Amino acid sequence: MSTDEIPYVKWGECHSKNPDKPDVLECKVVKTETFESDLTTNVHVKQRINNLWEDRFLSLKSHDSENSALLKSWNKLVKKKKIVVDAEFQLKTYMGLSKNNRPIRRSELVI
């Protein structure tokens, strides 16, 4: 499968606005190294969809956004060797509010 054929994780399918009941994406690491696209910094993962592992690119940070929390968390866990190839993790995410009262995606990587 070429990189042109791999879809991105669809953030639009994550609708939770409740930090106590976030959307939970089940993923597996394909590569730990990040890469740049025109709009985002990404990583290659497999996402469990309907009980099958499907290749996806996970956007860790948009170039237009100041929100770098997910990218920083990813890099920290890679450095600690908690994120390695084939490691499974959960991505818990919800839409919260920034300090300026604007919508912002909040995420937590759970290994």
Quote the mean pLDDT of the chain. 95
| Residue 2 banded pLDDT, cuts 50, 70, 90 | low
Q: How far apart are CA 111 and CA 100, in angstroms?
A: 30
Kindly compute the dihedral angle of the four CA atoms of residues 86, 92, 97, 102, in this order, to the nearest 10 degrees.
50
Span 55-77, pLDDT tens digits: 999 999 999 999 999 999 999 99
Q: What is the pTM of this model?
A: 0.93
| Residue 1 banded pLDDT, cuts 50, 70, 90 | low
Q: Strands 103-110, 88-97: parallel, antiparallel or unpaired by DSSP? A: antiparallel
Q: Is 42 helix (H, G, I), strand (E, B) or coil?
A: strand
Q: Is residue 5 a contact partner of residue 44, using CB atoms and an 8 Å limit?
A: no
Span 10-40, pLDDT tens digits: 999 999 999 999 999 999 999 999 999 999 9
Side chain identity, residue 9: V
Q: How far apart are CA 13 and CA 29, in angstroms?
A: 21
Q: How far apart are CA 14 and CA 100, in angstroms?
A: 22
